[in-house]
Amino acid sequence: MNPKPVNGYNKDTQMKNSLRKGISFGLTSAVITTLGLMVGLQSGTHSHIVVISGILTIAIADAFSDALGIHVSEEAECVHTTGEIWQATIATFLTKFLAAMTFVVPVLFLSLSTAIVVNLIWGMSILTILSYVIAKSLGEPPWKIICEHLLIAIIVIAITHWVGNRIGTISL
């Protein structure tokens, strides 16, 4: 049982919201950023080592960047406790880092083209499940939110594939 809010503020609910925000942001960012980067690098270089390096870079640098972004955003709202801010920050970092790292496994053990397909299925599955959970919590029809989120991911992936192809034709 949650304690009654004091002046409209319920600490347990706010902490859960901070955790939910960090996880949902981290997962979404990990999937879209990592898939976009992988597809772009693969179509431009066709190199396992370049794609793996890109994934590791995303897992480290972008996870820290996103975590700091959530941290600053939460601070700027001027409504969260220090604990809530740090919970969202740490949840964002860990979720983004760990989720991005899952995309390395297929690239290590499969041909690059097969690994890209496996990772596309994996990433779209993560987005679908996350979108379904969000839709249910909002009382919205899941198909609308799932389609919206998948469409955005597909647009990002298509653009990065196109850019990777264009860059791959440049000879230096």
The predicted-structure confidence for 110-123, as pLDDT tens digits, reads as follows 999 999 999 999 99
Percent with pLDDT over 90 in the chain: 76
Q: What is the pTM of this model?
A: 0.86
Per-residue pLDDT at 73 exceeds 60: yes
Domain of 68? 19-161
The arithmetic mean of pLDDT across residues 20-32, rounded, is 92
Long-range pairs of 128-137 with CB within 8 A, sequence gap ≥ 24: 130/24, 130/27, 130/28, 134/24
Q: Please provide the distance, in angstroms rounded to a whole number, between the alpha carbons at the two ends of the chain.
A: 64
- Three-state SS at 6: strand
Question: Is 172 a domain residue?
Answer: no
Would you state the pLDDT for residue 6? Answer: 42
CA 19/CA 91 separation, integer angstroms: 6
Question: Is 170 a domain residue?
Answer: no
- Three-state SS at 75: helix
CA 7/CA 71 separation, integer angstroms: 24
Would you state the pLDDT for residue 52? Answer: 97
CA 96/CA 61 separation, integer angstroms: 10
Question: Is 168 a domain residue?
Answer: no
Number of domains in the chain: 1
According to DSSP, the residues that pair with 106 across neighbouring strands are: none
Question: Is 2 a domain residue?
Answer: no
Question: Is 100 a domain residue?
Answer: yes
Question: Is 127 a domain residue?
Answer: yes
Q: Please, are residues 86 and 67 in contact by the beta-carbon 8 Å criterion?
A: no
Would you state the pLDDT for residue 21? Answer: 86
Per-residue pLDDT at 3 exceeds 70: no
Question: Is 10 a domain residue?
Answer: no
Question: Is 14 a domain residue?
Answer: no
